[in-house]
Structure 1
């Protein structure tokens, strides 16, 4: 490769790094706005919680301790993991949910955008945060598997989706609370 090609690659990498760091400086504000938007979209997607679904309600027990470490990087990693799980759940077998399709698509796009931002901003200090990240990852995986199994057991019926939507709303509210504490 000639010198001109190497300079171009260097400039592209510099611009990408600069853009990422600029976005990362505003991450807390962006996250709070994205979470607020996601909560509004969750409300818009469906109607009022069906009263008949109350008897099927289940406690999934979100592992709140994953959002309480002292290191900002660990919390960011946990939030990224949570968004990935939510994206996965809300990307499959939604036919019986009877939700507003446009709101659902906006919700999915917003989650995907947040995942990309967090991936770009989270420093990969694997050695320092490896054990905490791994323990948190396993706790979150278990939590989201409960939701996924619940949906499968109920054959992805309307009530199972409405209960899951309510649980994800609670989850996003906990993330919002953690982001506020982390940056205040």
Structure 2
């Protein structure tokens, strides 16, 4: 390959980085839109919370401290992790959930696209936030394992899914609150 070819490749790579950086700079605004859409889809996916499930309410205790670090990048890492866990939970045995399948697909697709975008931004800034990412990852893993175990213990029945859906709504609302505070 000649020098001109190498320069062209360099220009393409640097313009891709600039585009990626621009997308990452507007991430909080994009996240708010995705979260608002996800909350709308969560509501639309199912009906009102079933009365028979009220006595089965469960407190999973979301580790809110993972969304309160000093650096915006650490918050983005935690949000990416949360979206991955929510996507995983909502990709499991959903046969008893009695939700609108089309809306569920839209919810999953929105999460997946946001995960892809967040991963690209997080990889860009990964080196400086490895340690806080590990601590957040462990706390979030424990939180989502509780939800996963709850679903398994209840054999993925209707009430366990409705309780999990309500919990995911709380997570998304907390992320929405945090992203509104983030400044570009």
Which of the five TM-score ranges fits, normalised by the shorter chain?
over 0.9
Unaligned stretches of 5+ in structure 2?
A: none
Q: Partners in 1 of 2:166 and 2:84 — Cα distance?
A: 18
The reply to whether residue 124 of structure 1 matches residue 125 of structure 2 is yes
The reply to whether residue 154 of structure 1 matches residue 148 of structure 2 is no
Q: Partners in 2 of 1:102 and 1:9 — Cα distance?
A: 41
Q: Partners in 2 of 1:148 and 1:181 — Cα distance?
A: 30
Quote how far apart the aligned CAs of 1:4 are. Answer: 5.7
1:129-154 CA distances to partner (integer Å, 9 max, x unpaired)? 22221111100000000000000111
Q: Partners in 2 of 1:56 and 1:63 — Cα distance?
A: 21
Count of equivalent residues = 183
Q: Which residue of 1 aligns with 2:94?
A: 94
Quote how far apart the aligned CAs of 1:84 are. Answer: 0.5
TM-score by length of 2: 0.93
Q: Partners in 2 of 1:8 and 1:110 — Cα distance?
A: 34
Q: List structure 1 runs of 4+ shifted beyond 2 angstroms.
A: 1-12, 122-126, 128-131
User: How much is the aligned-residue C-alpha RMSD, in angstroms?
Assistant: 1.6
Q: Partners in 2 of 1:41 and 1:32 — Cα distance?
A: 14
Q: Which residue of 2 aligns with 1:55?
A: 55
1:110-132 CA distances to partner (integer Å, 9 max, x unpaired)? 11111111111223343x42222
The reply to whether residue 141 of structure 1 matches residue 137 of structure 2 is no
Q: Partners in 2 of 1:6 and 1:104 — Cα distance?
A: 45
SS at match of 2:170: helix
Q: Partners in 2 of 1:156 and 1:5 — Cα distance?
A: 56
SS at match of 1:98: coil
1:7-39 CA distances to partner (integer Å, 9 max, x unpaired)? 453343233212212212221111101100000
Q: Which residue of 1 aligns with 2:39?
A: 39
1:65-105 CA distances to partner (integer Å, 9 max, x unpaired)? 00011111110100000000001111111111111111111
